[in-house]
Amino acid sequence: MDGAAVETPIASSVPSRDGPGFFQRHGHLLLLAPGVIWMILFLVIPLAMMVYVSFWTQTTFAIKPDLTLKSWTTFFASETYFGALLRTLRIWLTVLFLTFLFGYPTALYIGQFVRNKTVQTILLVACVIPFWTSFLIRVLAWRPMLGKEGAINILLQGLGIIDQPIEVLLFTELSVIIGMVQIYVVFMVGPIAFMLARIDDSLFEAARDLGASPMTIFRKITFPLSLPGVVVGAIFVSVMVLGEFATASALSGRKVNLLGNIIVTQVGSLKWAFAAVIGVVLTVVMASVITVLLRVVNLRREL
Amino acid sequence: MMELIRLTKAYKGVPAVRDVSLVVQEDEYLTLLGPSGSGKTTLLRLLSGLEKPDAGQIHLNGEDVTYRPPYLRGLGIVQQNYALFPHLSVEDNVAFGLRYRLIDPVTDDSEVKRRVAETLELVGLTGFGGRMVGQISGGQKQRVSLARTLVTRPKICLLDEPLGALDANLRERMTVELRKIRATLGVTFLHVTGNETEALAMGDRMVVLDKGGIVQADRPDAIFSAPSDVRVARFVNTYNVLTGSGQDSVFRTADQLVSLPEEAHGREVGFYAIRQDSVEIDAAGTVPEPGRTSLQATYITSEFLGSRFIYIFRLPDGGVFEVERHLSHSDPVTYKGGETCSLSWNLADALVFDPSGAALETNAFKGAA
Residue spans of the domains in chain A: they are 73-302
Secondary structure, 3-state, A107-159: HHHHHHHCCCHHHHHHHHHHHCHHHHCCHHHHHHCHHHHHCCCCHHHHHHHHC
Tell me: the pLDDT tens digits for A168-211? 888 889 999 999 999 999 999 999 999 999 999 999 999 999 98
Whether residue B85 lies within 8 A of chain A, CB to CB, comes out as: yes
CA B303 from centroid of its chain's CA atoms: 23
A 156-215 residues inside an 8 A Cβ radius of B: 200, 202-203, 205-213
Using CB atoms, pick whichever of A200, A210, A225 lies closest to residue B101.
Answer: A210
Instruction: Among A209, A217, A221, pick the best mutation site for testing chain B contact (most B Cβ within 10 A).
Output: A209
Average pLDDT over residues B267-293: 87
Highest-pLDDT range among A73-77, B34-38, B244-248, B267-271: A73-77
Q: Which of B243, B237, B295 is nearest to B269 (CA)?
A: B243
Contact list, B94 vs chain A (CB under 8 Å) = none
Stretch among A12-16, A38-42, B4-8, B201-205 having the lowest mean pLDDT = A12-16
Low-confidence residues of chain A, pLDDT below 50?
Answer: 1-15
Which pairing describes strands B156-160 and B188-193: parallel, antiparallel, or unpaired?
parallel
Partners of B38 in beta bridges: none
Considering chain B, what percentage of its residues have pLDDT values greater than 90? 25
Nearest CB to A208 within list B70, B148, B149: B70
Chain A residues touching B84 at Cβ < 8 A: 206
Statement: residue B88 has pLDDT above 70: yes
User: Which residue in chain A has the smallest CA separation from B86?
Assistant: A225
Containing H/E element for A232?
A: helix A223-242
DSSP B359: B
What interface predicted TM-score (ipTM) does this complex get? 0.78
CB within 8 Å of chain B, chain A residues 240-299: none
CB contact under 8 A, B71 and A225: no
All residues of chain A having their beta carbon less than 8 Å from the beta carbon of residue B148 are 206, 210
Topology of the domain comprising B2-225: Rossmann fold (3.40.50)
Residues 231-250 of B with CB under 8 A from A: none
Contact B77 A207 (CB under 8 A): no
Contacts of A36 (CB under 8 A, 6+ apart): none
Nearest to A184 by CA among A106, A131, A258: A131
**DSSP letters along A154-176, please?**
HHHHHTTS-SSPPSTTSSSHHHH
Contact in structure between B278 and B254 (CB atoms under 8 Å):
no
B78 and B145 Cβ atoms separated by less than 8 Å: yes
One-letter identity of residue B234 = R
Half-sphere exposure of A23 (CA within 13 A, CB side): 0
Can you give the pLDDT at residue A13?
Answer: 45
pLDDT over 90 at B360, yes or no = no
Q: Under an 8 A CB cutoff, do A210 and B103 touch?
A: no
Confidence of residue B367 (pLDDT cuts 50, 70, 90): very low
pLDDT, position A19: 63
Higher pLDDT, B162 or B98: B98
The one-letter code for the residue type at B70 is P
Q: Which of the four CATH numbers 3.40.640.10, 1.10.630.10, 1.25.60.10, 1.10.3720.10 does domain A73-302 have?
A: 1.10.3720.10
Interface test with A, best of B100, B145, B146 (most A CBs within 10 A): B100
Which residues numbered 65-84 in B keep a CB inside 8 Å of some CB on A?
Answer: 69-72, 74-77, 79, 81, 83-84
Maximum CA pair distance of chain B?
Answer: 79
Domain boundaries, chain B: 2-225, 238-368
- pLDDT on residue A301: 64
**Residues of chain B contacting A210 with CB distance shorter than 8 Å:** 71, 76, 96-97, 100-101, 148-149, 152
Q: Which CATH class is domain B238-368?
A: mainly beta
Region at B186 (left for phi over 0; alpha for psi -120 to 50; beta for the rest) = left
- Which of the four pLDDT bands, split at 50, 70 and 90, describes residue B365? low
